[in-house]
């Protein structure tokens, strides 16, 4: 999402939020100081500065990052984002969250993240390809099907992954589809991957609503964002009878108290470039959307949009985090005290990495599953993980975020202790 969803403090606050959350979980678990230090620090960080020839022949130098936070439970896994505000601190935070996310849903992965500082909206397709292939070459010492498997993230998608896979394969002399996930179906992608994160959000909303005795039929849902995650969540929740009262993008939001049809909004955005002005809606800001009266709020844009300043005005009963780190620690405390149930990002949006894992397994076996098999397996994973987190919350009297973090950190800590400290 663009500038109105991103403040100058976002990058710093993302890392601060990640570290604050980790320390809270470590305190509750009583982690040994040495083990705490191991789990707190990224294992590897790579910064690359690389030239790209632009369409008019001039050369620009871009900066990229790849951070591996932890490898105790398996190869690193995490997306690559293209955004003008990507920074090392932001990538560190996202890599840490990926470690916990994989552990919450019991995937045999550690966490990683990557990014390139650029504005992809100002680059041509050929420039994006050259940038991607050079970035892939620069980070190739780290990535691989047994070491670190990238995936799409903000402003990247199946085509980006195809370029990375092809570049990596060319260096090795044969095709290696399992080096990335989120690829097109034609080169080893998985059924169900594009909608996986939104589908996972939907399962978590359903499970949370069931435990709070909120019928999904007719429930008012406001969704900040209308990218991949938000659009699929909107479509799937709408199909279950929920009333999608608002969606947004970088230009603003569309609000309709009687409900929007996500398919109609998607067509309108494709035609006009924005959801603003969608039929039978009125324009609102992204800030106003967060404060609408509703049963479910899905922040599915970027980090730190629910803060200490606006948390007292959030009127949803459930906040389902489709984005990574949309709620600051101060806002978490306020929402918890007000009785708002926050389904944390490391659980709520884990559908994407779960189906990425399925894709990786299918690539390595050269045997592919049907969409129905993917959906069924994903639902089992998400429902089981939600139940684990809910039990941890009840057992320890903590909110779902701290419960999820305690569960994840304890699993990574156990793996670290079991493996031992080399040498």
Buried b (16+ CB within 10 A) or exposed e, 216-239: beebbbbbbbbbbbbbbbbbbbbe
Q: Is 152 helix (H, G, I), strand (E, B) or coil?
A: strand
What pLDDT does 8 receive?
42
Question: What residues are paired with 60 via a beta bridge?
Answer: 52
- pLDDT reported for residue 12: 64
pLDDT of residue 154: 86
Structure tokens at 286: 């992204």
Q: Which residues of the chain have pLDDT under 70?
A: 1-12
Q: Which residue has the tokens 């570290």?
A: 19
The closest alpha carbon to 144, from 171, 124, 121, 123, belongs to 171
Measured CA distances, 118 to 79, 143, 153, 252 (Å): 16, 21, 14, 22
- pLDDT tens-digit profile of 85-143? 999 999 999 999 999 999 999 999 999 999 999 999 999 999 999 999 999 999 999 99
Length of the chain in terms of residues written = 423
390-418 residues labelled b (16+ CB within 10 A) or e (exposed):
bebbeeeebbbbbbbbbbbbbbbbebbee
CA 409, distance to chain mean position in Å, is: 18
User: Sign of the C-alpha dihedral, residues 398, 402, 407, 410?
Assistant: negative
Report which of 356, 332, 354 is spatially closest to residue 343, judged by C-alpha positions.
332
Task: Give the orientation angle of helix 196-211 with respect to helix 351-365, to 10 degrees.
Answer: 130
Q: Which residues contact 16 (CB under 8 A, 6 or more apart)?
A: 329
pLDDT of 126 reads: 98
Bridge partner residues of 327 (DSSP): 306
pLDDT at residue 384, rounded to an integer: 98
Pairing state of beta strands 318-320 and 76-83?
unpaired
Contact yes or no for 75/98 (Cβ under 8 A): no
pLDDT for residue 5: 39
* pLDDT for residue 376: 98
* DSSP secondary structure letters along 281-337: -EEE-HHHHHTSB-SEEEE-SSS--B-TTTGGG-B-SEEE--SSS-B-HHHHHHHHH
Q: Residue 25: phi, psi to the nearest 5?
A: -65, -40
| Residue positions annotated with a catalytic role | 113
Please report which residue ranges of 60-195 form alpha helices under DSSP H: 88-104, 125-139, 158-172
Comparing C-alpha atoms, which of 306, 157, 159, 101 is closest to residue 222? 306
Q: In which residue are the tokens 């992809």 written?
A: 120
Q: pLDDT averaged over the chain?
A: 95
Please report how the helices 33-40 and 10-29 are oriented relative to each other, as an axis angle in degrees rounded to 10. Answer: 150
Residue-wise DSSP of 51-71: EEE-TTS-EEEEEEEEEEEE-
What structural domains and CATH numbers belong to the chain? 9-22+39-181 (3.40.50.10860), 196-348 (3.40.50.720)
């Amino acid at each position: 999402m663009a500038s109105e969803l991103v403040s100058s403090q976002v990058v710093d606050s993302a890392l601060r939020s990640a570290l604050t959350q980790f320390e809270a979980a470590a305190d509750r678990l009583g982690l040994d100081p040495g083990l705490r230090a191991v789990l707190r620090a990224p294992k590897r960080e790579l910064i690359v500065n690389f030239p790209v020839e632009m369409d008019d022949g001039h050369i620009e130098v871009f900066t990229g990052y790849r951070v591996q936070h932890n490898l105790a439970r398996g190869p690193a896994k995490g997306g690559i984002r293209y955004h003008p505000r990507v920074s090392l601190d932001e990538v560190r935070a996202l890599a840490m969250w990926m470690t916990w996310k994989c552990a919450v849903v019991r995937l045999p992965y550690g966490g990683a993240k990557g990014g390139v500082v650029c504005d992809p909206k100002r680059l041509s397709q050929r420039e994006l390809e050259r940038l991607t292939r050079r970035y892939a070459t620069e980070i190739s010492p780290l990535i691989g099907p047994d070491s670190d498997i990238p995936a799409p993230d903000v402003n990247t998608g199946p085509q980006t992954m195809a370029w990375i896979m092809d570049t990596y394969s060319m260096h090795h002399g044969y095709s290696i589809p399992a080096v990335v996930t989120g690829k097109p179906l034609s080169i080893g992608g998985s059924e169900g991957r594009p909608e996986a994160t939104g589908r996972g959000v939907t399962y978590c909303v359903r499970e949370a609503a069931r435990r709070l005795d909120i019928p999904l039929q007719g429930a008012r849902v406001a969704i900040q964002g209308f990218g991949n995650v938000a659009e699929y969540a909107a479509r799937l929740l709408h199909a279950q009878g929920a009333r999608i009262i608002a969606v947004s993008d970088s230009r603003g939001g569309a609000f309709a108290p009687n409900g929007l049809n996500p398919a109609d909004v998607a067509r309108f955005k494709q035609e006009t470039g924005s959801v603003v002005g969608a039929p039978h809606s009125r324009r609102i800001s992204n800030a106003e959307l967060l404060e609408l009266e509703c049963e479910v709020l899905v922040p599915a844009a970027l980090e730190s949009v629910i803060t200490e300043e606006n948390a007292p005005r959030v009127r949803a009963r459930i906040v389902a985090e489709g984005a990574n780190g949309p709620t600051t620690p101060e806002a978490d405390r306020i929402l918890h005290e007000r009785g708002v149930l926050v389904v944390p990002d490391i659980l709520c949006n884990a559908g994407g990495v779960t189906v990425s894992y399925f894709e990786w397994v299918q690539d390595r076996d050269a045997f592919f599953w049907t969409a129905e098999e993917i959906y069924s397996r994903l639902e089992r994973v998400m429902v089981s993980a939600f139940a684990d987190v809910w039990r941890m919350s009840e057992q320890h009297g903590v909110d779902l975020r701290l419960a999820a973090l305690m569960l994840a950190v304890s699993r990574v800590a156990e793996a670290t202790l079991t493996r031992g400290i080399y040498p």
